[in-house]
Amino acid sequence: MLKSERELLTELKAALTNRRYSPVAIRNYCAYAQGFLEYLMHRGIPVADVTEDLVERYLHHATALFRKRRGRRPSKRWHEVPQSGIHALLRLGQGQWPPAPKVACAADALRFTICNEYETWLREERGLAQASIDAFLREARYFLAWQLDRSGVEGLKGVTVTDIDSYMDLRGSKLRRSSLKSTAERLRSLLRYLQRTDRVAADLSPHIISPRLYAYEGVPSILERDQITAVLASTSMDTTAAGLRDHAILQLLATYGLRAGEVRNMRIEDIDWRAEVVRVRHSKTQAYTLLPLMEPVGEAILTYLRSGRPATDAREIFIRTRAPYRKLDKLYSLVRRRLRDAGVKPLGKCGPHIFRHARATELLRAAVPKKVIGDLLGHRSTGSTDPYLKLATEDLRAVALDVPGTEVLA
């Protein structure tokens, strides 16, 4: 093994140790990284030239080697450990991973330029949140790659309605109605931008046909108060680090009806313990709301900070329970697991948003004005709160009108 490769392994071990990975994880990561380096050495490939395709080929090779040595296939998620070790190694060897996309042809150069300028326009002109920008950019990259591969750089200027129909047919074959509608909206935005910057001859956005979604056509899943109580009680019995964290998260979801991103991005400085106030940064509007720090929420968060949160430089409150210690990527699996453990089986989806719907419904049933509910939920207009009205079914039954001209027969 070359000296530089030994140095990379030494640096990898030191980096993992500094980030407080467990000894077992460090040993496994370094072992798989060493195997990958030996694979490269036998083929004369320097670390600096490694590509994502090469890593993928190696993982297939490692899977076949595992099967040959042990006489069985590895588990479905077995590749995650060698993949993580290799990625950590490549971040040291190349400075970043995955590598920045390289311009291989004129089509790539045009696509990168358009996407960079489009991203700036979405942020500065339209004022979209980062999550929305990412979604618009994904569609833009997909469409531009598809169109430029078919027609080349010169063909973008002459894109036609037939091209748009072909693209939507391709996308629609794998999407549900709601997702296809979102795809159409993002493509319209891109085409309007391309026409505005004189990259296409005409504005084709009006020609994009998307499925019609009717207002309030579906009833979201919600939890009743006794179900929420059961979930909180079940989670409070778990005194592990994960249990303390999950209980605090569920208290926030149930008490304030926050979005998942608002919980994940909540920082230590967002809680004013003396004033008993919690600051919520709404993920869609980027506005701040100051809410009273309710006692159950404050107690749950304080217990987690004292006894469950790992030592880390991250400022977000809720952190992964295993290294690398950073903020949580998502809450869906966490909420689903806690609902299952409590024996609660809501109809439909069972992610964190059901607590938001439940909180809105409770406030509606308590005759809280829609404007107040909207402010709590971080809505820009009262119209955004209207979908929650369909969940207060008992209140609607209470005000049902008699049908004229009908009689109850004896």
Q: Is the pLDDT of residue 1 over 50?
A: no
* Alpha-carbon torsion, ordered 340, 342, 347, 351, to 10 deg: -60
pLDDT of residue 345: 86
Of the candidate ranges 46-55, 92-101, 217-226, 321-330, the one whose mean pLDDT is the lowest: 217-226
Position with higher pLDDT, 172 vs 11: 11
Mean pLDDT score across all residues of the chain: 85
pLDDT of residue 48: 87
83-120 pLDDT tens trace: 999 999 999 888 888 887 777 788 889 999 999 999 99
Fold of 225-396: hpI Integrase; Chain A (1.10.443)
Mean per-residue pLDDT for 196-214? 85
pLDDT of residue 220: 59
35 CA to centre of own chain:
32
245-297 pLDDT tens trace: 999 999 999 999 888 989 999 999 999 999 999 999 887 667 788 999 999 99
Q: What percent of the chain has pLDDT over 90?
A: 44
Tokens of 332: 């869906």
> What are the catalytic residues?
259, 284, 353, 356, 379, 388
Q: Domains of the chain: which residue ranges? A: 3-94, 106-207, 225-396
92, 12 Cβ separation under 8 angstroms: yes
3-state helix, strand, coil in the chain (%, to 5): 60, 5, 35
Contacts of 54 (CB under 8 A, 6+ apart): 45
Is 3-94 CATH 1.10.150? Answer: yes
Q: How much is the CA Rg of the chain, to the nearest whole Å?
A: 26
Q: What's the predicted TM-score (pTM) here?
A: 0.71
Distance, in Å, from the CA atom of 380 to the CA atom of 372, rounded to the nearest integer, reads 11
